[in-house]
Structure 1
Amino acid sequence: MPHVTSVHGHPDAQPHFDRPAVIAAAGLTKTYTFHDQGAGLAGAVRSLVRRRYQTRLAVDSIDFTIGRGEVVGLLGPNGAGKTTTLKMLSGLLYPTSGDLEVLGHTPSRRRPDYLRRIALVMGQKTMLWWDVPAMESLLLHKEMYDLSAAEFQRNVDELAELLEVRDLLNVQVRKVSLGERMKLELMAALVHGPEILFLDEPTIGLDVVAKARVRAFLAEVTRRHGTTILVTSHDMDDIEALCSRVMVIDHGRLQYDGSLSGLVHAARPRKLVRATYARAVEESRLAGLDGVAVGSGGSDQTVSLEVERERTGEVLEQLTRLGPLVDLDVADADVEEIMRDLFLRRGAVGAGGAVGPGGGPADSASSAETEDVR
C-alpha cells in the first residue's frame, strides 16, 4: 500500500503522546509454522515420509505506542494481522520476535496481576455460560478476579444501568438476542474494572440500534474511567464514533498510524460538493467552475464536484451564483469507501489466511514452504 505509507508525512499522521504509555511494541513479529498435508489417504501416507510445512508471517515487525485513555482503531482487511496482534497484546500468543510491554508486563507470561488489568472481547466468541443466567458468569468472574462483595455490586450496578440490562441478568444467556448477549459480554469483560479493553469486532452481527448502544456505552466507559481501548472492526461507523486515532495494518505491516481525519485527507485530498438548483443550470455556466465534475446524479438541476479542500469556500461562492439553490452539501469521502479502495489496490480483500496453531489465524504477510524428509 505505497500510497498509504506516504500519509506519514501528513501533519495528523503521527500523534503526539501527551499521556503515559500503557502499550509499547517494537519490532513485534509473529510467524506461524504449520503442517501442510495433502487430501485423502495418499496425502496422509505421503506426509509420514515427506512432511511439508508452511511458514506464514502474520505480523511483520510493527512498532507503536498507545497512551493511557486512548481509543485506537486497528484497521485492515481479513488476514491482515489484526486479531493476531490483539492476541499477542492479551497474552494468548507468544511473539516470534520483538519487544512488547503492556502496563509494565510482558503479556505472554500471563501473570495474574497483569490479567486482572485487561479484558478481551471477541464478537464471535462468548465468555458467558450458555445455559445459565448471566449473573452466574458474573459471580464466577467475581471469584476469578478476587473482587470484594461491595466492589462487585458497585460495578454490576453501574454497568447494568449503562447497558440497560438489569432485567436480563437472571435470564439464561441462550434465551437473549444477539445484541443483548453482546451487552452482557461487555459487562462480563468490564465487571473487574480493567484498565485496558481489547475488542475484536464487538458489533459484528448487531442491528443498527444495538450497534449505536454499544458505541455509546464504550464512549461513556472511557469518559468515566479513562479505560484504554484498542478495537478492530470492519464497520467504519464503529471507528468514526469511538476512535481518535487509527492504525492501518495490511499484510502484517503497519501502514499508517495517526488520526482518522489525517488518513481521509491523505487518501482523498478533495471534498465532494453537491448543489441542487430550483431549475436546470446551463452547461455553459459550469465550464468556469473550479473542481472535477463527478456526475449530475441523473439530473441537470444537480451539480457534483470534487474540490481541493483549500478552495472549497471559493467554489461554494461560485455555486451560489449559478441560480436559486434547493440544497447544498459538502462532505468528505465515505471512510468505508476509502478503506475499500486502499485494500483493493493491493488485492488484499478476500485474501484471508489459514488457521494457525492453537486456533490463531495465519494472517499471512508472506509464506514459505519447507520439507521434512523422514
Structure 2
Amino acid sequence: MPPKTAAAPARAATEPIIEAVGLGREFTVTEGPFLRRRKRTVSAVRDVDLTVFPGEIVGYLGPNGAGKSSTMKMLTGILSPTQGRVRVTGLEPARRRTRLAARIGVVFGQRSTLWWDLPLRDSFELTRHMYRVPAADHARRLAELTELLELGPFLATPVRQLSLGQRMRGDLTAALLHGPRLLVLDEPTIGLDVVSKSTIREFLLRLNAEEGTTILLTTHDLGDVERLCERVVVIDQGRLAYDGGLAGLRASVPAPRVLVVDLAEPAAPLTVEGARCVRVDGPRQWLELSDNPARVIAEVAGRHEVADLTLREPDIESVVAALYRGAVAGPG
C-alpha cells in the first residue's frame, strides 16, 4: 500500500501508542429489594499497566466479565478511568475523544458502524465526511481496501443484505479509510466461516507489515491469536494475569505435553514412568507426559516396536484455559 494519510503528525517510533499506568475503573451498583436497596462499588479493572508500541499486534484476552470491554472503552474514550492514567496516541482518551477518533479505528464484531439501509459505497462516503478526508485521498484509499478485501461486487449492495463476512470486511474498510495509527478490534472474526476468517487475518497481517498499523484485538477465537499475535495480554478478574509472548505463556502454565505413539501392532495401554496413557485407538496411543520426553521415548522404543512418534505441545486454548483457572498467579 502507498503511505497512508494519517490524521496525526508523525511521532518517534519509541513513543508508546498506548500507555496505561495503574488503570482502573469502578462502578456503583444498586441491589436488594426496592425499599431496602443498597449501593456497593464494583471494580471492573484494577491496577492495569499496559504499554503498546507502534507496529505491535497485541491480543487482549480474558474470560467474560474479566474487564476486557471496560479496558477497551477507557482506551477509546467511551469511559473515564476512576484510577490511574492512560494515553493513546499521546492523548487522554476521555478528554480528547473527538481528536482521538481521527487517529484510531474501531471495529466491534457484534455492532456495525455502517448505515443499514444504504449501499456500502454510500456508507464509506459518509465516513469520509465524518473524518474530513480529502476526496482524492479517500478515493485512493477506498480503491486499495476494496481490492485487498474483495469488496468490489458488494459496493452497491445495501448493508442489510450483506453476509456477516461481507459486512465485517465493510466495517474494517470504514475503520481504516482515514488512515488510523491504531486499530482496535473487538471479536473481529466472531461468527465467520473459515474462508472469511482467513481473509481477514491475512489482511490484518498485511496491513501491519506494509503500513505499520498497530493492532489491539480482543477475541475468544484462539486461532486469531496464534495467527496474528506475537504478544498476548491476559486479564482476569480485572487484573493482568500475563503479558508476554505466546511461547512464554505456554511455558508459564503447567499444561502437559502429549506423546502420540504409533505401535506396529495394537497393544494394551502403555505403562511408562513419567507418562500416563490417556487414550488408545488401535495401534495409536496418547501419553500425557510429566517427565523428560526423551526418557519416555527411549523407554517406549526399548520395550515396543514403534512405527512413529509425535510430540505435541499444548495448544494455546488449553493453556489459556489453565491460566483462567488460576494456574499462574500474576503477570509473566
Question: TM bucket by the smaller chain?
Answer: 0.7 to 0.9
C-alpha separation in 1, matches of 2:302 and 2:296: 10
Q: Do the aligned residues in 1 keep the contact of 2:16 with 2:52 (CA within 8 Å)?
A: yes
| 1:337 CA drift (Å) | 2.1
Q: Which of 218, 235, 242 matches 2:204?
A: 218
Q: Which of 103, 108, 112 matches 2:94?
A: 108
Query: Where does residue 198 of structure 1 map in the other structure?
Result: 184
SS in 2 for 1:63: strand
- Would you say 1:339 and 2:325 are equivalent positions? no
| 1:212 CA drift (Å) | 1.6
Letter in 2 for 1:263: L
Letter in 2 for 1:25: A
Q: Per the alignment, do residues 66 and 232 of structure 1 end up closer, same or farther by CA in structure 2, a change over 3 Å counting?
A: same
Which has the higher relative contact order, 1 or 2, with Cα contacts under 8 A spaced 6 or more apart? Answer: 1
Letter in 1 for 2:293: T
| 1:209 CA drift (Å) | 1.8
| 1:140 CA drift (Å) | 1.1
C-alpha separation in 2, matches of 1:273 and 1:81: 37
Q: Per the alignment, do residues 167 and 98 of structure 1 end up closer, same or farther by CA in structure 2, a change over 3 Å counting?
A: same
Comparing 157-166 with 295-304, which one deviates more in the overlay?
295-304
- Would you say 1:230 and 2:216 are equivalent positions? yes
C-alpha separation in 1, matches of 2:201 and 2:111: 19
Letter in 2 for 1:34: V
Query: Where does residue 354 of structure 1 map in the other structure?
Result: none
Q: Per the alignment, do residues 192 and 319 of structure 1 end up closer, same or farther by CA in structure 2, a change over 3 Å counting?
A: farther
Q: Do the aligned residues in 1 keep the contact of 2:253 with 2:322 (CA within 8 Å)?
A: no
Query: Where does residue 295 of structure 1 map in the other structure?
Result: 278
Query: Where does residue 352 of structure 1 map in the other structure?
Result: none
| 1:321 CA drift (Å) | 4.8
SS in 2 for 1:297: strand
Letter in 2 for 1:212: S
Q: Which of 240, 246, 250 matches 1:254?
A: 240
Q: Per the alignment, do residues 294 and 24 of structure 1 end up closer, same or farther by CA in structure 2, a change over 3 Å counting?
A: farther
SS in 1 for 2:25: strand
Q: Do the aligned residues in 2 keep the contact of 1:272 with 1:307 (CA within 8 Å)?
A: no
Query: Where does residue 61 of structure 2 map in the other structure?
Result: 75
Normalization by structure 2: what TM-score? 0.87
Letter in 2 for 1:339: V
Comparing 78-87 with 262-271, which one deviates more in the overlay?
262-271
SS in 1 for 2:250: helix
Letter in 2 for 1:292: A
| 1:111 CA drift (Å) | 4.5
Query: Where does residue 356 of structure 1 map in the other structure?
Result: none
- Would you say 1:62 and 2:48 are equivalent positions? yes
Structure 2 counterparts to residues 30-45 of structure 1, below 5 A: 30-36=25-31, 38=33, 43=34
Q: Per the alignment, do residues 327 and 210 of structure 1 end up closer, same or farther by CA in structure 2, a change over 3 Å counting?
A: farther
Residue deviations 1:281-337 (CA, integer Å, cap 9, x gap): 577xx55x56312324244542524155xx434544554555554443221112212
Structure 2 counterparts to residues 137-156 of structure 1, below 5 A: 137-156=123-142
Letter in 2 for 1:69: G
Aligned residues: 315
- Would you say 1:27 and 2:27 are equivalent positions? no
Which stretches in structure 2 are left out of the alignment for 5+ residues?
A: 1-12, 328-332
C-alpha separation in 2, matches of 1:144 and 1:303: 57
Letter in 1 for 2:239: R
Q: Do the aligned residues in 2 keep the contact of 1:281 with 1:322 (CA within 8 Å)?
A: no
Q: Which of 79, 86, 91 matches 2:72?
A: 86
| 1:19 CA drift (Å) | 4.6
| 1:169 CA drift (Å) | 1.3
Letter in 2 for 1:70: E
Residue deviations 1:79-100 (CA, integer Å, cap 9, x gap): 0000110110011110011010
Q: Per the alignment, do residues 91 and 111 of structure 1 end up closer, same or farther by CA in structure 2, a change over 3 Å counting?
A: closer
Structure 2 counterparts to residues 152-171 of structure 1, below 5 A: 152-171=138-157
Letter in 2 for 1:90: T
Q: CA RMSD in A?
A: 2.3
Comparing 193-202 with 324-333, which one deviates more in the overlay?
324-333
Residue deviations 1:139-158 (CA, integer Å, cap 9, x gap): 11111111112211111111
C-alpha separation in 1, matches of 2:284 and 2:122: 62
- Would you say 1:304 and 2:287 are equivalent positions? yes
Normalization by structure 1: what TM-score? 0.78
Letter in 2 for 1:23: I
Q: Do the aligned residues in 2 keep the contact of 1:273 with 1:307 (CA within 8 Å)?
A: no
Q: Per the alignment, do residues 87 and 299 of structure 1 end up closer, same or farther by CA in structure 2, a change over 3 Å counting?
A: same
Q: Do the aligned residues in 1 keep the contact of 2:66 with 2:235 (CA within 8 Å)?
A: yes
Comparing 79-88 with 29-38, which one deviates more in the overlay?
29-38
Residue deviations 1:158-196 (CA, integer Å, cap 9, x gap): 111111111111100000111111111111111111100
Query: Taking every aligned residue pair, what percent have the same amino acid on both sides?
Result: 41
| 1:36 CA drift (Å) | 3.4
